[in-house]
Structure 1
Amino acid sequence: MSTTSQAAAIAQYEIDPAHSGAQFKVRHMMIANVRGEFSKVSGKVAFDPANPAASSIDVAIDASSLSTREPQRDEHLKSADFLDVAKYPSITFVSKKIVPDGKDAYQVSGDLTIHGVTREVKLLVDAVTPEAKDPWGGARRGATASTTISRKDFGLTWNMALEAGGVLVGEDIHITIEVELVRKG
């Protein structure tokens, strides 16, 4: 296959921000989870299901779109104690390697940047749907990606000791990104 026909086989998509988002959960006071979301997710995906290694993912999350449904906590999470959105307005992920992991699932390794710190992480991307026509004649597909990171690996070290023992904020952050992709061209 020529380089031109290989490039043609890779479908180009943009993330539909109106139908996509990133959620997280983290342990709170060692007794329950706090859940939050980022409502502004954008990016591009080049996808070839016949040759996943030729695919790529580039995602940007607007860090200021964070909401835990508690305004005071949201402001603290956006402050210099945590995300410091004034200095680091975006959270990004850029894939480096994509390999199949069962039917309609992939292991995606790439660089995640949070709070100005970049670390390689592995995402499990599953629930990759077949392409479907939308009511406007376009083509769409969906996918869900998940991973768990240590917030300390990204310089998010603020915490508070509790009188009863333990800490206010857990170390592990469970992340889920759900996207709807719109085919371009």
Structure 2
Amino acid sequence: MNLKALTLGLVVASAATFAIAKPVAYQIDPTHSATVFSWSHFGFSIPSANFSDIQGTINVDNEKPAASSVNVTIPLSSINTNVAALDKHIQGAEFFDAAKYPNITFKSTKVETKDKKHFKIMGDLTIKGVTKPVVLDATLNKQAVHPMTKLPTIGFNATTSFNRSAFGVAAYVPNVGDKITVNITTEASVPAKK
């Protein structure tokens, strides 16, 4: 092999390595994602509700996980408590005031790696126009080509908790619990090329 061919081969190999190491943007699949939150109801029960229309992007850098990021929008219109009247009440001015603040957002500010599967994702949560820092404890479930869609796909579970009163959603505290516990599961895929 001559020097020119060797040099060309090294350039191609380096380019391929760089392409593999490049961060990947996964688009959240709302049909396989859910944000379930729960609270205390007068101490008698722990009801839960779900936001089903989760939208956003998970940018994953496998080589430098700390450079990864998350940007999520959750329309309040997707809330489901399994009680239609309660859905409407929670979306009203006494709670989320969805007419004025239609979305909840989360934007990561830092990612810490515990190991190859467990992460702490720090970020800004915005509810009802109020932004506060929260921490997600996240677990990587799987990262592979999806057998059905044939698209590169990633899946996570995550948990967090916060006091809703900090976001101006304080109706009926303390009888209806202030602390909100959140459990998230999500699948996200690289969009198909058009």
- Pairwise same-fold verdict (TM > 0.5): yes
Could you say which residue in structure 1 is the equivalent of 2:8?
Answer: none
- What amino acid does structure 1 have at the position aligned with 2:110? K
Equivalent pair of 2:37/2:50 in contact (CA under 8 Å): yes
Native 8 Å contact 1:43 1:59 kept in 2: yes
Q: 1:183 aligns with which of 170, 175, 190?
A: 190
- Partner residue of 1:144 out of 149, 157, 171: 157
Q: Where does the alignment leave 5 or more consecutive residues of structure 1 unmatched?
A: 161-166
How far apart are the structure 2 equivalents of 1:114 and 1:137? 36
| CA displacement at 1:132 relative to structure 2 | 2.9
Q: Within 5 A, what are the aligned runs for 1:32-181?
A: 32-159=45-172, 167-181=174-188
Quick one: higher RCO (CA 8 Å, sep 6+), 1 or 2? Answer: 1
- Compute the displacement of 1:35 (Å): 0.5
Alignment-derived partner of residue 11 in structure 1: 24
Give distance in 1, aligned partners of 2:128 and 2:20.
34
Matched letter for residue 60 of structure 1: T
* Stretches of 4+ aligned residues off by more than 3 angstroms: 5-8
The amino acid that maps onto 1:153 is: A
Q: Which structure shows the higher strand fraction? A: 1
User: Using the alignment, how far apart are the partners of 1:136 and 1:63 within structure 2?
Assistant: 29
Percent identity, aligned pairs only, is 33
Structure showing greater radius of gyration is 2
AA aligned opposite 2:91: K
Matched, 1:28 2:75: no
Give RMSD over aligned pairs: 2.1
Larger proportion of helix: 2
